[in-house]
A = this chain, B = another copy of it.
């Protein structure tokens, strides 16, 4: 697979945007392999994702950003530039359940997404063995009401030390503080319900109590307002009166694995553009 550059751009809607952006790439000899756009008419916003091959592109990687600045700034655009040959680094945070952890590691090994997973962080020691099995460092950082502030500082230090780009809360079962998220905003969480149904704790028990016929899982970016962040992906599965809470948990695990993995993959391929509390997913 050849190296590519990807621009994710948001700007006020106006004539000529597609032409201007495409011209920038064409004028520099780039070959576009993916271009998709979306206009949010109500918000007056134009959102686009463009990916092109670096081979044959006249600008060296470090000059692309300043060069595009000359086009983007007059348009009032905000943008991100990513290169496919920069391998992102993930920290997986877990509690006691291993299904999402196992799944993410398996997918990374199977190259379903391209990333490194140098560390696993947990508030419990339970999954140390899984980390060892796959040769990943395991950091046990127990959290109590009293030590949360200082433990979050330790977590932030680890993310810095290991140059982590993305935190994946793979059933971490703890609230990350608003302050933490401010300092490290790239966090994907999996919630075990079809949000906004059953926000908060014990969604499977509450789904059972309510007698729903379908349960779901939701992968979203973590925000200070718990379970209210921009949704990346959701999926559902049928349940019936024959399903006890344990069956909901079991069926839900399959959902959680798949939904979280899809969200992580989409994020790592720079296919998710957040604006307001919404996402555009350029599939």
A214/B216 contact (C-beta < 8 A), A18-B22, A25-B19 known:
yes
Note all chain B residues with C-beta closer than 8 A to A23. 19, 22-23
Looking at chain A's contact residues, is the secondary structure mostly helix, strand, loop, or mixed?
Answer: mixed
Query: Is A213's CB under 8 angstroms from B234's CB?
Result: yes
Contacts of A40 in B (CB 8 A): 241
B-chain residues with CB within 8 Å of residue A254 when the two chains form the complex: 258
Contact call A210/B197, Cβ cutoff below 8 A: no
In the complex the two chains form, is B19's CB within 8 Å of A26's CB? yes
Query: Does A39 count as interface, using CB distance less than 8 angstroms?
Result: yes
| Neighbouring B residues of A29 by C-beta, 8 Å | 15
| Distance, CA A76 to CA B143, complexed state (A) | 51
Any B CB within 8 A of the CB of A281: yes
Given B19, B102, B277, which contacts A211 in the complex, CB threshold below 8 Å?
B277
> Does A154 interact with chain B (Cβ within 8 Å)?
no
Residues on B with C-beta less than 8 A from A233 are: 213
A213-B231, A214-B236, A241-B281 known, 14 other contacts, Cβ within 8 Å: A16-B26, A18-B18, A18-B35, A19-B26, A19-B27, A38-B241, A133-B133, A197-B197, A211-B230, A211-B278, A212-B234, A238-B238, A241-B279, A241-B280
Of all A-B residue pairs in the complex, the 3 with the closest CB atoms, nearest first, are A211-B278, A19-B22, A19-B26
A window 215-234: CB within 8 A of B: 216, 230-234
* Contact with A18, one of B16, B26, B235 (Cβ below 8 angstroms): B26
CA distance A40 to B238 in the complex (A): 19
* Complex alpha-carbon distance, A212 and B194, angstroms: 9
Q: A31 is contacted by which of B15, B31, B214, B283 (Cβ under 8 Å)?
A: B15
Q: Does A182 have its Cβ within 8 Å of any Cβ on chain B?
A: no
- Please indicate the chain B residues that have their CB under 8 angstroms from the CB of A250 in the complex: 112
Q: Shortest distance in angstroms between A242's beta carbon and chain B's nearest beta carbon?
A: 6
A193's closest neighbor in chain B, by CB?
Answer: B197
Residues of B within 8 A of A162 (CB): none
Chain B neighbourhood of A230, CB < 8 A: 211
Cβ of A32 < 8 Å from any Cβ of B? Answer: yes
Q: What are 22 sample pairs from A and B whose C-beta atoms fall under 8 A apart? A: A16-B26, A17-B32, A18-B26, A19-B27, A23-B23, A34-B39, A36-B37, A41-B244, A99-B106, A102-B102, A112-B250, A194-B214, A195-B197, A196-B210, A210-B231, A211-B230, A213-B232, A213-B234, A214-B236, A236-B236, A240-B283, A241-B279
